[in-house]
Structure 1
């Protein structure tokens, strides 16, 4: 099962929280020892509480800002303050109560706050100086050895922690860019088809109109002929545009599902292209192809799905398409209410108009399901309305199928 990746701010908050829990394991035992001592010194307890709280707050702030890539030169002063407090605490309290653990606190921030080359140098110096200072404080030899090994490990751990967080953040951003790119490529494809279909026709209409204007006074018969050609070209252009909008002239369900699965995989969503029978009736490709396009757009733009399953079935009376993904729990409002022809609402109207059934919504188990079924038998042909008579008596008849 592929894990779901939360938002980067949630991951950063988890990292900061876990780091503070780790720091608490170092600092709370000696602080508790001061509080529960037989004759606790109120000033020492207050000093310990203030020092631990201040170090924790400053540590969390520096870690959060660097996770969010809000680095600044002033963060070095914050690191210096943590080092100063951590090294002064063992001097201010009685030895043997665990305050020497504070010497390791700044190590995790060295490679987070400082540039990498400088962090390596500082970590190397701290690896030598920290155990020497611990020995000066009277720390047991085993604890000195632990501090000598703990400084580079903590520094490397802090660096890897922030690096992995930034890698995950960049992967999320790359996935979002891939989704936007997929939608943009679809729009560009539609724009190219529309330009190829409509650009030539409009240019031809403009040229015919110029010719008619030239012969307006000299040859009325030529003008009528050019106007009839303009009318015919305009009707053909309208028909071509309808074909483009309807499904890029020849819609193939197999092509649409292959494209959908490829786009989703590029966006980091696990999706396999289903097997589509080559014997599917021709009239089912267009409505079910629209379902595939809209479902892919909704998965990319309105959910954080990690997998998507597609199934095509034919039982003799109808052909069904079902698309299920696991993005229902974090799904935003789909673009289905934008009117007919767009979103899930317009898609439902298309399927119902084709004599089929359509359903879309959460399935109750954290998944979102889109299902459409259309009759296997082709719909009855709708007779075209009669052509409008030409206003010019001697103009040639319009070509068949040209009524708009």
Structure 2
């Protein structure tokens, strides 16, 4: 099962929250000791102000850099965090304040460009343990500082980089969906141009010839008008063939195209098995269901998977399309595309339903009779006409 990817702001808030928990593990135990063991109001006020300032600056700069709102002034914020975290251990390294030396390292590769972050992180990896030795940290703690600084710098860089990668992948998927729709429109426009361009030009030329012989040769004019009528009828037939290629194709072709487009957009969608013995009349209405469902998945959801099922049960052919990432809609809130599908399926004598299922999925189901619907008898209208 593929997890649904939240919005970028939600991911950023989660990262900032997890980072705050990590910072709390570094700083709050020492602050607790100052507040409840030493009972020195001045020391408590100083340490609490330093911890709160470091927390606020760290969270703000991490958020702004993930939102790509970087600024040169962030370097001063990083310097302020470093000054605070290197001052707090002066209260005493024996009760956890030595951990504060690692805090600024997580922002080095976030705030600074990579070409500057590498030498700064290397310098911090040397200066931090040296400062720890001067403060009187145990040898094991000094070794921990030496290893922890580059690891913290790398971790900060990776988490922001991965956040930006996820955001770019979301934008790329949306662009792929827009491109698929645009390519389909261009293909239709190209086919329509190829069919109508030559025919309309020939009609225009025949009309000019007829106009030229209007007063001199009525027989020639009559012949040209007959040719114009023939060309016009042929053009109408050709346009119908083009439209039929988009509207009345086989259900298997529609489902193959749907699964291919969704996979190109990064949505897991397996091509379903379609029986070659399906009645011919079910292909057009169920093909429309597949097209509209693909459009809805691409445009109106943040889907990661889509399941398509085709089965023949009883006297109906059933198609069911389910996807995750469905938006929450009010009851009765359906687009014109789904309304049009309901009308098409009803005209074919079938049943149609579409809507969210309450578990984050959107379900489209359609059933068309295996036997073609019997059209209404024209006897009654004819009788009224004769009357």
The question of a shared fold, defined as TM-score above 0.5 by the shorter chain, is answered with yes
Cα distance, 1:286 vs structure 2: 1.4
Q: For residues 276-296 of structure 1, what are the alpha-carbon distances to aligned partners after superposition, in whole Å with 9 as ceiling and x for unaligned? A: 122222222111111111100
Query: What's the counterpart of residue 326 of structure 1?
Result: 324
Query: What's the counterpart of residue 346 of structure 1?
Result: 340
The structure-2 alpha-carbon separation of the partners of 1:345 and 1:240, relative to structure 1 and needing over 3 Å to count, comes to farther
Task: State the secondary structure of the residue aligned to 2:3.
Answer: coil
1:1-400 correspondence runs (5 A): 1-41=1-41, 43-91=42-90, 93-248=91-246, 251-315=249-313, 317-328=315-326, 337-338=335-336, 343-380=337-374
Task: State the secondary structure of the residue aligned to 1:312.
Answer: strand
Cα distance, 1:195 vs structure 2: 1.6
Q: Contact 1:127/1:149 (CA < 8 Å) preserved in 2?
A: yes
The structure-2 alpha-carbon separation of the partners of 1:118 and 1:332, relative to structure 1 and needing over 3 Å to count, comes to farther
Task: State the secondary structure of the residue aligned to 2:158.
Answer: helix
Q: For residues 358-388 of structure 1, what are the alpha-carbon distances to aligned partners after superposition, in whole Å with 9 as ceiling and x for unaligned? A: 111123433211112222233457899xxxx
Cα distance, 1:309 vs structure 2: 1.1
Q: Distance in 2 between matches of 1:184 and 1:336?
A: 24
149-158 or 94-103, which moves further after superposition?
94-103
237-246 or 58-67, which moves further after superposition?
237-246
Q: Distance in 2 between matches of 1:217 and 1:336?
A: 60
Cα distance, 1:334 vs structure 2: 11
Question: TM-score scaled to structure 2, two decimals?
Answer: 0.90
Question: TM-score scaled to structure 1, two decimals?
Answer: 0.87
Cα distance, 1:250 vs structure 2: 5.2
Cα distance, 1:353 vs structure 2: 1.7
Q: Contact 2:247/2:284 (CA < 8 Å) preserved in 1?
A: no
Cα distance, 1:191 vs structure 2: 1.4
For these two proteins, the number of residue pairs brought into alignment is 378
Q: Contact 1:336/1:345 (CA < 8 Å) preserved in 2?
A: yes
Instruction: Structure 2 unaligned segments of length 5 or more: list them.
Output: 379-387
Q: Distance in 2 between matches of 1:262 and 1:276?
A: 16
Q: Distance in 2 between matches of 1:337 and 1:330?
A: 14
Instruction: Structure 1 unaligned segments of length 5 or more: list them.
Output: 385-404
Q: Contact 1:335/1:344 (CA < 8 Å) preserved in 2?
A: no
Q: Contact 1:104/1:147 (CA < 8 Å) preserved in 2?
A: yes
Q: Distance in 1 between matches of 2:201 and 2:3?
A: 54
Cα distance, 1:72 vs structure 2: 2.5
Task: State the secondary structure of the residue aligned to 2:272.
Answer: coil
The structure-2 alpha-carbon separation of the partners of 1:333 and 1:165, relative to structure 1 and needing over 3 Å to count, comes to farther
Query: What's the counterpart of residue 393 of structure 1?
Result: none
322-331 or 198-207, which moves further after superposition?
322-331
Q: Distance in 2 between matches of 1:190 and 1:332?
A: 35
